[in-house]
Amino acid sequence: MIARPAPKLPTHDSIAIVVSLDAAHSMIALPVEVPGAHIRGGEGVTGPDDVPGGARVYEEWGYAERAWYLEKRQGFIGVLRALFLPTEGVVEVGIHQSIWAERAQKPPVEAFKFEIRKAEYQRLRSYLRATIASEEPVSIVGNSRFCVARSPYHLFHHCHHYTAKGLREAGLPISMTGALTRNGFARQLRRIMLLS
């Protein structure tokens, strides 16, 4: 089930972003900026607004360990490697008609919507773009491009830290140490929703 705390009312100077969490991963969804974006598979998309007949489209950003996520080198050894050895990270940039929380298959799943000012949104986008070492994707899976990340993946820099740092850039009061675990990160996001 997707928990959706009531968002604060949008203003003309705000942009809605959505943070999705499942049992092990987090993503930031931004509204698509360019009307006429296309999703693989031939589905046409009318644009980023919720007009009747129009599809809502998101650009989602996430961070993962390349060996685990793309090369499927998982299991117990994969967990040890991902957490305790600095390994190559990848940044995922996907275009989707639904947010990660609606597609995730590892409960618990939650989605948090935040309205941020345009200046904060630009800082968030700048941060996200700066995390990519090379625009050339190392893999394309469905509607997602995976690019090599500037920072290695490890226990103290994983998807929740990546998302938390982006939210800090967007002006939200996020503690990086509180984002060490999924539950700690979710608690912070719930608290911020109550303060909004």
Least confident among 68-72, 117-121, 167-171 = 68-72
DSSP 76-104: HHHHHHHHHS-B-EEEEEEEESS-HHHH-
**What phi and psi values does residue 150 have, to the nearest 5 degrees?**
-70, -35
Q: Is the pLDDT of residue 25 over 70?
A: yes
- Total of domains in the chain: 1
Residues 32-52 have a mean pLDDT of 46
Percent of the chain exceeding pLDDT 70 equals 82
Least confident among 127-131, 164-168, 176-180 = 176-180
The whole-number pLDDT of residue 35 equals 58
Helix/strand/coil percentages in the chain, nearest 5: 30, 30, 40
132 SS3 class:
strand
Angle at Cα 12 formed by Cα 56 and Cα 124, nearest 5°? 65
**pLDDT interval class at 88 (50, 70, 90):** very high
The segment with the largest mean pLDDT, out of 50-64, 103-117, 120-134, 146-160, is 120-134
Q: How many of the other CB atoms lie within 10 Å of CB of 16?
A: 14
Residues 113-142 have a mean pLDDT of 96
Residues 49-59 have a mean pLDDT of 61
Here the tokens at position 159 are: 């998807």
The whole-number pLDDT of residue 114 equals 96
pTM: 0.82
44 SS3 class:
strand
> The domain containing residue 56 runs over which residues?
2-195
Angle at Cα 173 formed by Cα 21 and Cα 7, nearest 5°? 60
